[in-house]
Structure formats: structure tokens, C-alpha cells
Amino acid sequence: MIPIEWVCRRVATGSFLKRNPGVKEGYRFSPLKMEMFFKDDANNDPQWSEEQLLEAKFSLAGLSIGQCEVDIMNRSTVAIFEILEKAWATQNCTLVDMKIEFGVNVTTKEVVLADVIDNDSWRLWPAGDRSQQKDKQVYRDLKEVTPEAMQMVKRNFEWVSERVKLLLEPQASGRVVVLMGSTSDMAHCEKIKKACASYGIPCTLRVTSAHKGPDETLRIKAGYEGDGVPTVFVAVAGRSNGLGPVMSGNTAYPVINCPPLTPDWGAQDVWSSLRMPSGLGCSTVLSPEAAAQFAAQIFGLSDHLVWCKLRASMLNTWVSLKLADKKLQACSL
């Protein structure tokens, strides 16, 4: 275990107000306020600066805790908070602040989250109202520990337990429908489908040509519009892309062009996806994985589970780059 407690705050309350007189309770931090505390019970876990943490030169399980590791813990704490904040918002509950700790994996020498995140770890204010708080602070605020008071604490913890289960329920169901002009584009479309699955988004593949069968293309479109399920259409058409523009001109649903460009005519063909007639709003994304990510970002506006997967992916990408840079610097030295 790394002997540092990371505290992430969205709303000013508790000990922060005591350490920062003049700040009113309820002040909202944007971006999030990060604080570190050294785990030392004898000295009441003093607050540390980043400089103190670096100068402590901790070495745990063969890993020296330097700038790279501190940055990873900092960035991970923010991501974890934002994911939980987004989830609790679906229950009209404000995640006020949170504390977590990290450790070192003795096998991989990686910094990992090494903590249980529960009702002792955070402050929760339903509807943003401190008087309705449901976390451990309720117990701390008791003037006298009576059987009645403990029953109230128990009810609050049960309230949290019941709603934690709801955090894993999607707020809206959606799907991606990939329309390809030919089965020769199947490999390209399968990449889109696989990437959609990583975000938990159902993806259906269809074959239709706006040039050769516009009536069938519009019939397929109407079928997906008619059942009320939020849908993002992805048009995969090589050579002259009429599929995306025709779809965009006849539906209010989002349409993404993702043409499978070839080395010989790709530079010319892409213009049929980029140069749209007026009144059309379809975007063009060349990478199949990026097209799926764009669709996920659209669904993430209303589905917190999709948004959380996107946020976690951002963190993983950032950490990978950070570790790659550290490795490169070590090789250079």
C-alpha cells in the first residue's frame, strides 16, 4: 500500500472549510479539487503537497514512487470520481467528495486502486441537499449514540445499498445500425460492430445500396425509425457514397459516414462523403473504431454506462502514454 489518501472534492464541506476559512459550504469546484494526506494516525493524517510526496521517495514492492506514479494516481482519482459522480447523478444524488488509496501490484509493479469504495469512502447528498446526507457523516454528526439514532444510520446505509444496484441499470437503450453498400465491405463493418460491443452498444449490420435500390434503403430506415429505439446509422459505402447523404436527407437520426477507402481511388472517393449537399448533417469518420466511438459519445449523453466506458477508455489511453514515455526516458538514460 502507498501510504497516501487521495481526496477528491466537487463541493466544499467538512474539513476543507476548517482548513480554508472564508470559503462557504457548497462552493463547487470545477475542475475537481484534489488533496493528499499522509497516512499517519499518530499525527492525524497530515495534509501533504505533491512536492512532499515526491521528496518522500517511497519505494514499494520494487517500484519507486516518482512523478509518473503520482500523475497516474492523480489522474485515476479524478476519473474514478467522475465515473461515480455520473452514476449517482442518475439517482438525483450529488457525490460531494471521495477518498481512495492506491497500492503496487507486486507482480507487475503497476500502481493499482487498492481500496474498497463504499459508504465510508464518500459523501452523498440526495438532490444536493446536505440535510439529506446518507453517508458515514450522519454517524459522525450524532450528538448521542442512541438506539433510535443507530436505526436512522442503518436506514441511510440501506438507502445507499438499494440505489447502488440501480447504478448499473442503463438510463436509455440505443443501437448502431451499419448499412453497407456491398458484402465486400463486411470486414470493415465487423470492426465497427466489435468496437460498439466494447461500449456495450448493440450493433446490427445490413446490406443496401442507395444508388441501386433507394426504395429498399428508405424502407429499412423506416423500420428502425418506427420502433422508437434511439439509433445511430453508420453508412459504409465505397466509391461514390450516396448511402450516407440519402440517409441523412431522410432521417432526423444521426448518420455517420465511414467509407472503406482503397489505396487506388481513396483520395478521390472520400469527397463524396465530405462534400454534402446543403441541409445534410452527416459526419465522416474514416476509422471504423473511431466511428463506433463517435456513436458511443452520442449515446453517452443519455446513458451513463456508455459514458463511463468512454471515460475509462480515456484514462487507460492516458496511462499507457505516460508509462510509454517513462520507459522511453529510462532507455534514453
pLDDT tens-digit map of 80-97: 999 999 999 999 999 999
Q: Are 64 and 57 in contact (CB under 8 A)?
A: yes
Q: Are 106 and 144 in contact (CB under 8 A)?
A: no
Considering the domain architecture, whether residues 315 and 270 belong to the same structural domain is answered as no
Looking up residue 234, the CATH number of its domain turns out to be 3.40.50.1970
pLDDT tens-digit map of 230-263: 999 999 998 889 999 999 999 999 999 999 998 8
* Phi–psi pair at 30, nearest 5 degrees: -140, 105
Considering the domain architecture, whether residues 275 and 204 belong to the same structural domain is answered as yes
* Phi–psi pair at 152, nearest 5 degrees: -65, -45
The DSSP 8-state label assigned to residue 58 in this structure reads -
Considering the domain architecture, whether residues 14 and 141 belong to the same structural domain is answered as yes
Considering the domain architecture, whether residues 218 and 327 belong to the same structural domain is answered as no
Considering the domain architecture, whether residues 289 and 202 belong to the same structural domain is answered as yes
pTM of the complete model: 0.92
Considering the domain architecture, whether residues 101 and 188 belong to the same structural domain is answered as no
Considering the domain architecture, whether residues 213 and 290 belong to the same structural domain is answered as yes
Considering the domain architecture, whether residues 156 and 17 belong to the same structural domain is answered as yes
- pLDDT computed for residue 88 by the predictor: 97
Residues in the chain with pLDDT values less than 70: 333
Looking up residue 86, the CATH number of its domain turns out to be 3.30.470.20
Considering the domain architecture, whether residues 119 and 29 belong to the same structural domain is answered as yes
Long-range contacts of 83-90 (CB under 8 A, 24+ apart): 83/308, 83/311, 83/312, 84/117, 84/122, 85/10, 86/304, 86/307, 86/308, 86/311, 87/167, 87/304, 87/308, 88/124, 88/167, 89/304, 90/166, 90/167, 90/171, 90/304
Considering the domain architecture, whether residues 154 and 26 belong to the same structural domain is answered as yes
Residue 13, domain extent:
2-169+309-331
Contacts of 34 (CB under 8 A, 6+ apart): 6, 7, 8, 9, 74, 77, 78
Distance (Å, whole) CA 16 – CA 22: 11
- pLDDT computed for residue 266 by the predictor: 86
Structural domain total, the chain = 2
- pLDDT computed for residue 333 by the predictor: 61
